[in-house]
Structure 1
């Protein structure tokens, strides 16, 4: 279950151990990281096209997904906004250039277009021979290796990466506000509160939440949990460029566990390399807590 975290941490650690003194090589790495964002999003779009077994009970699935997504999103963003207010505005912390609002909107549109292009192409591909999960995994490991090299050459100490109070505060805020949103969703849908808490504990890790919840509560709830966390990841990708400048905690935290992997490239691209340690700490804590919390809350339900 935790092999995915090793896939993330090992390339990052290896990259961090590789010093690079060539400015031209560092420039090449920076450009490569930016380009690979689009590659990974394109592959994610193809993987979306391969999703099946969602044709039955679509109405119930989408209603469950919509209600929980709205409740959790509202609570998450409210809590993370308060965290940003408490921290105050950042100045010169990220090293990322100021970008106009139109440029941010255009950036988000491009990211969405890449995903939609992948979905369109995926309709013509055979999942049996096009191993999109394997390709995505290797692309992600290469990207994280390059990001690790960027971290090593950014001047940050390892202590800053592993012990980051801001990242821990974001993770705790996301966890607590997600529970509040889950309780709201369960109340609105007349579900047991324990199911709502389990539903809210996936924190964007859609493959995990869909499998665990589906195994206990059936395919309808499993599919709804999968779509909820998947939609969370897609929304995070769209809003990160727009939120990063004024509300960085919202930008980092809303992606939940995915801030450690799939939304990490978008965060790095929007906020600079110094955002990476914060995102990794937040995503790592939420990834560790996710399966434990989901299984714990499911143990209280009669299913």
Structure 2
């Protein structure tokens, strides 16, 4: 089990050791991450097409994803509401950024596009299976595994070269408190949801460790537990991001830690423009620090729980 964890974590660690000082190369790495995510989600859809009784499996996946999402969301919102009251952190006087680079609608459409890639993979898999037999699904899983290793190496490079020194991160106590609260409450939610989903306790913890990073959680879980549970993890974390786009404008002025924290790992990238637009510049360091810490925690936690 530990050897399997090491094999998957090794690319991440190797990528983290590589400093990148050329802006053009960093741009290529970022594009490589995006391309790898789309490719793996397409291959995940192809693998789903190989399941027996596909419609029943997809229905079960949707039901499990909804249950997991509701339990973890309740745990997150309660814990972050408590943290908001304890910190009493408000940003009424923070200047608002007039032209944030991404609108809520554009960001939500970008998230939903990933769902379209998975569904496209299912349709493609059905066609390829009809033409080439069941061997197609085995090849898709092998290719997805190798693409995953490349993706983890590229993500390691991104984290190393994000421009956030660890000292600066650890000194931001509010951002650290938000990240810890999200992580602990998510894990408690995953533990509580495990018996509802007929999962082992460690599988429930692994499913809850995505912290909103749907493009990675679905891939890692699917690689270890199969495409159905990979889909559950993916849709659970995707639903978190979509709800975050709704909650941030409503809550960020008076419940700042709750609004930023619920975005999870996405608060340093996908939901950051919405946080910046509605909360102002004072929210940006909190969002980046909490999102970075959760992004750093997510891959090793998922892999660790899956090896237990």
Please say whether Structure 1 and Structure 2 have the same fold, judged by a TM-score greater than 0.5.
Answer: yes
1:207 to 208, 211, 215: 215
- Work out whether 1:297 is the aligned partner of 2:305: yes
Distance 2:60 2:233 in 1: 12
1:117-176 deviation per Cα after TM superposition (whole angstroms, max 9, x unaligned): 9968x97xx99xxxxxxxxxxxxx9xxx9xx9xxxxxxxxx9876621100000000000
Q: Which residue of 2 aligns with 1:69?
A: 69
TM-score, normalising length: structure 2: 0.63
- Work out whether 1:235 is the aligned partner of 2:243: yes
Shift in CA distance, 190/90, structure 1 to aligned 2, threshold 3 Å: same
2:201 to 188, 193, 201: 193
1:233-259 deviation per Cα after TM superposition (whole angstroms, max 9, x unaligned): 111112111111121111111111111
1:239–1:251 Cα contact (<8 Å) kept: yes
SS of residue paired to 1:236? helix
Q: Which residue of 2 aligns with 1:274?
A: 282
**1:201 shift after superposition:** 0.4
For structure 2, the residue ranges without an aligned partner over 5 or more in a row are 1-10, 24-33, 98-102, 122-157
1:162–1:277 Cα contact (<8 Å) kept: no
Shift in CA distance, 116/278, structure 1 to aligned 2, threshold 3 Å: closer
2:91–2:279 Cα contact (<8 Å) kept: no
1:161–1:277 Cα contact (<8 Å) kept: no
Q: Which residue of 1 aligns with 2:104?
A: 111
Q: Number of aligned pairs?
A: 233
2:94–2:279 Cα contact (<8 Å) kept: yes
SS of residue paired to 1:262? coil
2:169–2:176 Cα contact (<8 Å) kept: no
Distance 1:10 1:95 in 2: 33
SS of residue paired to 1:59? helix
2:184 to 176, 184, 189: 176
**1:186 shift after superposition:** 0.4
Shift in CA distance, 10/249, structure 1 to aligned 2, threshold 3 Å: farther
Shift in CA distance, 89/276, structure 1 to aligned 2, threshold 3 Å: closer
1:61-100 to structure 2, matched below 5 A, reads: 61-92=61-92, 94-96=94-96
1:80–1:250 Cα contact (<8 Å) kept: yes
Pick which of 195-204 and 243-252 moved more. Answer: 243-252
